Structure 1
Amino acid sequence: MKILLADDDKVTRIRLTAYLHGWGHEVLAAADGLEAWERFRKEPCWLVVSDWQMPGMNGVELVQRIRADAKPGNYVYVILLTSRSEKSDLVEGMEAGADDFVSKPFDKEELRVRIRAGERVIQLERALAEGYQQLAAVNNRMRESLEAAARIQRAFLPKTGQVFPGVQAAWRYLPCDELAGDTLNILCLDDEHLCFYVADVCGHGVAASLLSMTLSRLMSKGAGTEGVLIRHRPDGDAPEPVGPAEVARHLNERFPWNPEAMEYFTLFYGLLNVRTRQLRYVCAGHPRPVLVPATAPAERLLSDPPAVGLLPGAEFVEHTMRLAPGDRLYAFTDGLVEALSPVEEEFGEERLVAAAATRRSRDLPDSIHALVGDVDAWRGRGEPADDQCIIGLEIT
């Protein structure tokens, strides 16, 4: 090991150099603290043995400069040689950054074992630094993978600025982690129909996000593409939208209950005829959407069990209603209504209904922004414990 030796006494310097060479070390010798500092800057060492009292720059000042110049992963072990024995002197040296002391006149064997102790500390520091670098590299790769997955997940969200016939749409998507178990979208299925949905996969993290992305991909097929949302008629005419209850049944078959994974999701799925303004929907174990009519009090729509993926062969209840111009509908995940205040009280559905009603005079995007702001204010300084997603439609 390369050792920097600093001592203004020539005889002591020669003796120490001989000892260190004999123990297999390379020695950089300096006659005072200033010379030692210059040599250290040019040839950094892992271990420094320095006299305390030297002209120009003493050992304590040398230690302070070495510590001030320290770089992560390059710990320098410093031993001070001193004839001082007062406790205050030792405290001064330790506070400056010295690791050990050897009293003058020093014993050769004592110095040898203290050098060996310093080597063990340095080896441990190197191992820790290497382990940290490896861990940092792994974390960087994981972060890059999570960021890539998050980009894929966001790609299934509604396109910014997208225009839909007969309605205005707005939404917020706020994952509590890098990846979300919530998803939402709005799609044109044909000239007369659009669909919109909000889903909340049970759990958090990668497992929930994988199911969420699979669901989003499955339901992302739009106009004219046969799949979960569109089917061809037996007579061969143009494709037609699949009804909400049938969509839920298909998804329940597609994502059957697995007791090992224990994955399922709640779902609101709405199918709107933009010409007649008829809305058909299922709300499978999902928080009840909020309807804010143009000329009536706000109300909650119906929700029915079970969630999707819980019960094989489950039947899902479909509801039908007719909307009017100016009516607004908000569908959201439970991260909004279950947000906790500092005293552990939920925001709740009633507060969300009231907040939506009081924001009726604002335009739709601003009202959604305000609703999320109300939930944030309710939570206070606490971080969200769950994803928060909301989509709003207004009949134009």
Structure 2
Amino acid sequence: MPNALVVAEPGEAASEAVVELDGVLREEGFEVRHAGPSELAMRPDSWPHPDLLLVSASLGLQRMALVSQCFLIDGRVPTIVAFPDGDLGALEECVRGGFDYVTRPFLATLLRSRVNSCWERWQLSTTVEEMAALASLREYERELSIAREIQAGFLPESMPVMDGWEIAAGFRPAKQVAGDFYDIFTIVNGRRLAFVVADVCDKGVGAALFMALIRTLLRHTAEHTGFVAAAGDDLAIAVNGSQNEAALSLPLLSLGAGPLIQAVVGTNRYMARNHLKQGYFATMFFGVLDPQSGDMLYINGGHNPPIVLRADGSQTLLPPTGPAVGILADSSYTLGHIHLAPGDALFAYTDGVVEARNRDHRLYGMPRLLELLGTPGPSAEGLLDSVDSAVRHFVGTAEQSDDITTLALRRTPI
């Protein structure tokens, strides 16, 4: 049975109209309830959602609008009609305000026709709104698809090929676009291999825009920074005015130290000075490898510690050597150093791996990752496949909550 709610102020003028309207509604099969505007305002949740809402025009346009707002919830909109209580001027005001109306005498056929007309117009309006929303959604999806294609263009099309090394990377965004990224390229006339794994805070379009900006700044600076022939004053100044023992003890590595330091420090300074208001920052691991010797310099800017997998089964974590990029313009970054011997591998990743959640909201966690990597894989690609399979199995049917990016370097055994 359809239900109707009649809202009017108590009083003689209103009573006659209300009584007449009540009788016609009941004849038409409506279950009728009555309420005063004050009573309705004090206890809006105590009234069932009406199929038909009839409001006395004497309340005025503003109060009628407030009454109708009480029931514009959950996408269900009642048919709202104004009725006169002796003041046609008040009814005219409500009609000019966009409300439909009925007039006395309240005839059953006229009331039924008016209600049907209101319902049909509402259905038509809803259909038009749904069509517009669908068109807007399709346009949004098209724009997201374009953004995804553009973002994919920022990722390396292929891995560099170097004698004695295996290189592999994985990228699985949680949404159509991601804040994670990886990059791998050569610098210093091909004598050094630079690689980055980074995670811009947040997800979605905003994070993806900053991902593109940070990736471009890092690569452009690293590729166009002149290398230092030997460790000295320039390098010391770049590392916040103090000499760095790792770089100074390995003069050949200083060929890549300058690009590494300038890329991270310069990007951090630019982001902190120009985009601090947007609230985006990035954690990153940036390494520069000498493929001939297996020595590597790195900066870990607040990122999850990459894992060095030794050929003998032991593991070494590479903790942060500085803060995330884009927070403080004068942040300090220290160079780290590691040597990869034949059979050793480096596994870098974003927090989407260790923070993957299953249906029970449990985290995959670092202990599971370290246990999985306890037995080195047969190749860099195999290492990434084993991690991806393990995380997918752990998550199961739960929705992927964060972007997942992985990168592996493996020095092939002699």
Q: TM-score, normalised by structure 1?
A: 0.66
Q: Determine the C-alpha separation between the residues in 2 that align with 1:196 and 1:285.
A: 16
Partner of 1:163: 161
Distance 1:361 1:391, change over 3 A: closer
Partner of 1:394: 410
Partner of 1:26: none
Partner of 1:271: 288
Partner of 1:185: 183
After superposition, where does 1:325-340 map in structure 2 within 5 Å?
325-340=342-357
Partner of 2:198: 199
Partner of 1:368: 384
Q: Determine the C-alpha separation between the residues in 2 that align with 1:385 and 1:248.
A: 28
What amino acid is aligned across from residue 298 of structure 1 in structure 2?
A: Q
CA contact (8 A) 1:164 1:188 kept: no
Out of 309, 314, 322, the position equivalent to 2:331 is 314
Out of 269, 280, 289, the position equivalent to 1:253 is 269
CA contact (8 A) 2:270 2:329 kept: no
Shift in Å, 1:372: 1.6
Out of 401, 406, 410, the position equivalent to 1:385 is 401
CA contact (8 A) 1:281 1:320 kept: yes
Shift in Å, 1:316: 0.5
Shift in Å, 1:308: 0.9
Shift in Å, 1:327: 1.3
Report the 3-state secondary structure (helix = DSSP H, G, I; strand = E; otherwise coil) of the residue aligned with 1:291. strand
Report the 3-state secondary structure (helix = DSSP H, G, I; strand = E; otherwise coil) of the residue aligned with 2:183. strand
Distance 1:234 1:277, change over 3 A: closer
Distance 1:228 1:363, change over 3 A: closer
Is residue 228 of structure 1 aligned with residue 222 of structure 2? yes
Report the 3-state secondary structure (helix = DSSP H, G, I; strand = E; otherwise coil) of the residue aligned with 1:228. helix
Partner of 2:151: 153
CA contact (8 A) 2:309 2:346 kept: yes
What amino acid is aligned across from residue 157 of structure 1 in structure 2?
A: L
Q: Determine the C-alpha separation between the residues in 2 that align with 1:187 and 1:212.
A: 17
After superposition, where does 1:342-357 map in structure 2 within 5 Å?
342-357=359-374
Report the 3-state secondary structure (helix = DSSP H, G, I; strand = E; otherwise coil) of the residue aligned with 1:270. strand
Partner of 2:114: 116
Report the 3-state secondary structure (helix = DSSP H, G, I; strand = E; otherwise coil) of the residue aligned with 1:256. helix
Q: Determine the C-alpha separation between the residues in 1 that align with 2:144 and 2:296.
A: 37
Residue segments in structure 1 that go unaligned for 5+ positions in a row: 1-107, 222-226
Q: Determine the C-alpha separation between the residues in 2 that align with 1:265 and 1:152.
A: 20
CA contact (8 A) 1:300 1:353 kept: no
Aligned residues: 280
Which is further off, 279-288 or 360-369? 360-369
What amino acid is aligned across from residue 351 of structure 1 in structure 2?
A: R
Q: Determine the C-alpha separation between the residues in 1 that align with 2:163 and 2:224.
A: 18
CA contact (8 A) 1:299 1:353 kept: no
Report the 3-state secondary structure (helix = DSSP H, G, I; strand = E; otherwise coil) of the residue aligned with 2:140. helix
Q: Determine the C-alpha separation between the residues in 1 that align with 2:195 and 2:215.
A: 12
Shift in Å, 1:312: 2.1
What amino acid is aligned across from residue 175 of structure 2 in structure 1?
A: D
Q: Determine the C-alpha separation between the residues in 2 that align with 1:332 and 1:341.
A: 19
Distance 1:324 1:230, change over 3 A: farther
1:93-144 Cα offsets, whole Å, 9 max, x none, are: xxxxxxxxxxxxxxx9533432332221111111111111111111111111
Report the 3-state secondary structure (helix = DSSP H, G, I; strand = E; otherwise coil) of the residue aligned with 1:357. coil
1:52-100 Cα offsets, whole Å, 9 max, x none, are: xxxxxxxxxxxxxxxxxxxxxxxxxxxxxxxxxxxxxxxxxxxxxxxxx
Out of 307, 311, 315, the position equivalent to 1:298 is 315
After superposition, where does 1:25-64 map in structure 2 within 5 Å?
none
What amino acid is aligned across from residue 199 of structure 2 in structure 1?
A: D
Higher helix share: 2
Q: Determine the C-alpha separation between the residues in 1 that align with 2:309 and 2:156.
A: 22
Distance 1:229 1:354, change over 3 A: farther
Q: TM-score, normalised by structure 2?
A: 0.63
Shift in Å, 1:210: 0.8
Distance 1:144 1:246, change over 3 A: same
Q: Determine the C-alpha separation between the residues in 2 that align with 1:212 and 1:338.
A: 20
Report the 3-state secondary structure (helix = DSSP H, G, I; strand = E; otherwise coil) of the residue aligned with 2:128. helix
What amino acid is aligned across from residue 380 of structure 1 in structure 2?
A: G
Q: Determine the C-alpha separation between the residues in 1 that align with 2:386 and 2:228.
A: 47
Shift in Å, 1:384: 1.6
Report the 3-state secondary structure (helix = DSSP H, G, I; strand = E; otherwise coil) of the residue aligned with 1:219. helix
Q: Determine the C-alpha separation between the residues in 2 that align with 1:256 and 1:393.
A: 31
After superposition, where does 1:94-109 map in structure 2 within 5 Å?
109=107
Q: Determine the C-alpha separation between the residues in 2 that align with 1:310 and 1:161.
A: 31
Distance 1:355 1:268, change over 3 A: same
- The percent of aligned pairs where both chains have the same amino acid is 25
Q: Determine the C-alpha separation between the residues in 2 that align with 1:174 and 1:334.
A: 12
What amino acid is aligned across from residue 286 of structure 1 in structure 2?
A: H
Residue segments in structure 2 that go unaligned for 5+ positions in a row: 1-105, 230-254
Shift in Å, 1:220: 4.1
Q: Determine the C-alpha separation between the residues in 2 that align with 1:363 and 1:111.
A: 81
1:152-172 Cα offsets, whole Å, 9 max, x none, are: 111111214653444211111
What amino acid is aligned across from residue 348 of structure 2 in structure 1?
A: A
Partner of 1:67: none
Partner of 2:124: 126
CA contact (8 A) 1:243 1:280 kept: no
Shift in Å, 1:355: 1.0
